[in-house]
Structure formats: C-alpha cells, structure tokens
Amino acid sequence: MESPSEKQTILVIHGPNLNMLGKREPEVYGKATLDDINTALKETGKRLGVRVETFQSNHEGAIVDKIQEIMNSHQGLIINPGAYTHTSVAIRDALLLLSIPVVEVHLSNIYKREPFRHHSMIAGVATGQISGLGSDGYILALEFLARRSQAAA
C-alpha cells in the first residue's frame, strides 16, 4: 500500500461565488454546498487511491498563485473558474505553465445560458471540459484524472 506521501495528488480549484453554493441560484447550480462537493471529492479520492486537495477563492490573483504553486507537485487539476472562465487571460496563462492534465468543470451548462457565458478562456488550454452535470461533473473529472495519473505512474 502506498504511503500518503506517495499518493497521486489532484487539486480542485473553485472560483468566485462557489463558496455560496446551496444559497446562490439553487435552480441553476443545485442545492449541494461547496462543503458537500469537497466531502464527496475527498471520499471518492480515497476510494480511487488519490489525494484530493481543494481550494476556493473569489480572487483571480489567488487562483493564479495556487496554479503556479502546484507546477511540480500534483498530477492533475480540476478547475471551476466561475465567472473568470469568460474573462481571465491570467488564469489561462497560468494553466499553460502546467504539464499535468486539467479538467474544466461547470455545474451548469454554460452553452444553454447567456451568450457571454458561451466562451471559455480556459477550454483551449484544458485537457477537457465537463459542463451541465451539476456536482457529478466534479466526480467524473476526478475519476478521469485518477485513472490517467495512475496509468502514467
């Protein structure tokens, strides 16, 4: 059995306003809170044999700093950049520094919403995108990254 320090580590970054899940537009984003999602991710990670770290910030620079911090230490990244999806060249550029797979996740289907949400600054540099599957999208992204990182190990 691997020691905790030998486990593959996946980071999950939640962007602005995701700390308000369960309160903010539950008809769009669902009733699950951020704590619910993080708990499910960590439990799924244990089952899959990967360590899951979570991070949430409403601040673009903090998200960029976190991405830079994992350049040589993690085997995958799940990111829901929230509204920064549509505006942040800085987050996009930070993702280009990574040599690990990145999955962009959105709780709602951004392509069924307002036209300004249809464009993602992140999609062009991500390995893949999951949109519109609610909190299940995070779990699917984690399962994909766990399989991929274990195959590469």
Q: How far is CA 117 from the centre of its chain?
A: 17
Q: Which of 29, 74, 84, 138 is catalytic?
A: 29
In this structure, are residues 31 and 127 in contact, taking their beta carbons and an 8 Å threshold? no
Domain edges within the chain: 4-152
Residue 80: strand, helix, or coil: strand
**Residue of higher predicted confidence among 44 and 117:** 44
In this structure, are residues 19 and 34 in contact, taking their beta carbons and an 8 Å threshold? yes
- pLDDT tens figures, 48-67: 999 999 999 999 999 999 99
29 as an active site residue: the answer is: yes
Q: Which of 14, 84, 106, 138 is catalytic?
A: 106
Residue 14: strand, helix, or coil: strand
Confidence of residue 151 (pLDDT cuts 50, 70, 90): confident
Give the CATH superfamily of 4-152: Dehydroquinase, class II (3.40.50.9100)
Confidence of residue 111 (pLDDT cuts 50, 70, 90): confident
106 as an active site residue: the answer is: yes
- CB neighbours of residue 99 within 10 Å: 7
